[in-house]
Structure 1
Amino acid sequence: MVAVTVAAAVVAGVLLITDDGKGSRGGSSDDVVQGPPGAPGPDGSGGSQGPGNLVTPAHSSGPGGTTVVIGEADAGHTLDVYEDLRCPPCASFDQAVGPTIAKDIKAGKYKVSFHFAAILDKSMGGNGSANALSALGAALDVSTDAFLDYKAALMSPKNHPEESKDSYADDNQLLTVSQEVYALKTNASFREALREGTYDPWAKKMIADFDASGVNSTPAVKLDGSQLTGSSGSTPLTAAEFTEAVNKQLKGG
């Protein structure tokens, strides 16, 4: 066993990681729980069940179901978005740029691959990042629209907690926020999955993938593998700067 020190700091609107042990994380990504009968597998069909089996949401794919791509399958470009659901700079990014990303997805400008970290859980204690991600997995199991709408609600000025508050560690708070999403308001399977922590192991896998990605700050965005930056040289934090960076990249820099 190796002791790992993880620190996070908000610098210029970006949450940074300093890590003495790359790829380290709290808990094991292999600590899984039994999912409910009929829970969907990585391809959205079937049900992975039985002791020790990982339950993955519908509309996920890839090893462990940790690939979450939303948009037209034949879109010629891929936007990678890296966020921590507990991170205030990520919330600011989502509030400013999220509607533009949603519009671009519908227009077929690119498809989006989402990646999630738990930086604040590690640096400040608690489990709000991971718990909110588990709940977001339950929303993804309902539909991709429910996923996008719930993520927007979690990141909204009304709901997103201050950095020092681990509000999303509380399932009741996550359920309260879900009432703002039409597809989730009366969805019993979503509520059960959230309460039971059905997608807790999946959330751990998602976080482990982020830890192994080499990305060391959130929010971060890449288009076709190339980092997007605004005028300050960091992640574009306004819709105008984001669109400018995207269009520049699409035109070949």
Structure 2
Amino acid sequence: MSENNPEGKRTARERLQAERERQKSKDKQRRMLVVLAAVVGVLAVVTVVGILIGGLGGDDDDDKPVAYPKGAVGKDRLALPAGKADAPADLTVYEDFRCPACGQFEAGFSKTINELEEAGKLRTEYRLVKLIDGNFGGSGSLNSANAAACAQDAGKFVPYHDVLFANQPQESDDAFADKGRLKELAGKVDGLRGKRFDACVDDGKYDGWVGASDEAFGKSGHNSTPTVLLGGENIYGQGSNLTPASFKQLVEDAGKD
């Protein structure tokens, strides 16, 4: 009968062809959906990873761009100066405001150092590090060093440096992490406390600079604070027996060379 019904054959073939086209269309749509889902999944993973990386790096102070305090000296501009630039003797001091040994050094020698600076016999370069933050955790070393750099901008580094050490907390007490405390102590220095200083402290303006100074200390060959160099020679530490009187004599002798 089919031979006698060519129209029926044609209709059946057309229906079969149409069904095949519909199936191809469905398969194509299915493949597109699979590809689209895969792309969306990859984009979601990339977004999450980006957020996580951004979150991890957001609080890393070492990633901040380096801004330099006014008058910072040295080839690397990582030292804060005290005394007259043309003084005949030069002292380099690596310090951490949380470091108890640094506090002991300052308690014993700061008066003599200041007197020699005022007399034009000594110039000092202070290099600030954050060694105790690394040993005990916290951010007191970083925040206090940044605040000291902010004081440098106001021409008040030396008196603020001395105030910080005079009010130094216990090594395990991260009191200097409190920026409010650092601003409060600035009130003890005439002419330091103000909107500009407070903003500098709150913003961590010199955090990157402190990080660079700390990194340079790690590459210096020295590994403890305080490190005290007179004319490049280490004069303080175990077995040195240094006293304010002998230190003064060393400075005066260096000035004669």
Choose which of 222, 235, 239 in structure 2 pairs with 1:233.
239
How far residue 241 of structure 1 moved from its aligned partner, in angstroms, is: 3.8
**Bigger strand fraction:** 1
* Runs of 4 or more above 6 Å deviation: none
Partner residue of 1:222?
A: 229
CA distance in 1 between counterparts of 2:169 and 2:220 reads 26
TM-score (norm 2): 0.70
Across the aligned residues of Structure 1 and Structure 2, the Cα RMSD in angstroms comes to 2.2
Choose which of 148, 154, 158 in structure 1 pairs with 2:164.
154
Structure 2 unaligned runs (5+)?
A: 1-59
Is this contact kept in 2: 1:134–1:194, CA < 8 A?
yes
Total equivalences in the alignment: 198
Is this contact kept in 2: 1:219–1:235, CA < 8 A?
no
Residue 120 (1) aligns with residue 132 (2): yes
Residue 189 (1) aligns with residue 196 (2): yes
CA distance in 1 between counterparts of 2:76 and 2:236 reads 31
- Assess, with a 3 A threshold, how the Cα gap between structure 1 residues 137 and 219 changes in structure 2: closer, same or farther: same
Residue 137 (1) aligns with residue 143 (2): no
Partner residue of 1:96?
A: 108
**Bigger helix fraction:** 2
Percent sequence identity over matched residues?
A: 34
1:45-60 maps to which residues of 2 (within 5 A)? 53-60=65-72
Partner residue of 2:26?
A: none
Question: What amino acid maps onto 2:150 in structure 1?
Answer: A
Partner residue of 2:57?
A: none
CA distance in 2 between counterparts of 1:241 and 1:167 reads 34
Partner residue of 2:186?
A: 178
Choose which of 199, 202, 222 in structure 1 pairs with 2:209.
202
TM-score (norm 1): 0.71
CA distance in 1 between counterparts of 2:120 and 2:213 reads 25
Is this contact kept in 2: 1:75–1:110, CA < 8 A?
yes
Kindly name which structure, 1 or 2, has the bigger radius of gyration based on alpha carbons: 2
Partner residue of 1:71?
A: 83
- Assess, with a 3 A threshold, how the Cα gap between structure 1 residues 86 and 235 changes in structure 2: closer, same or farther: farther
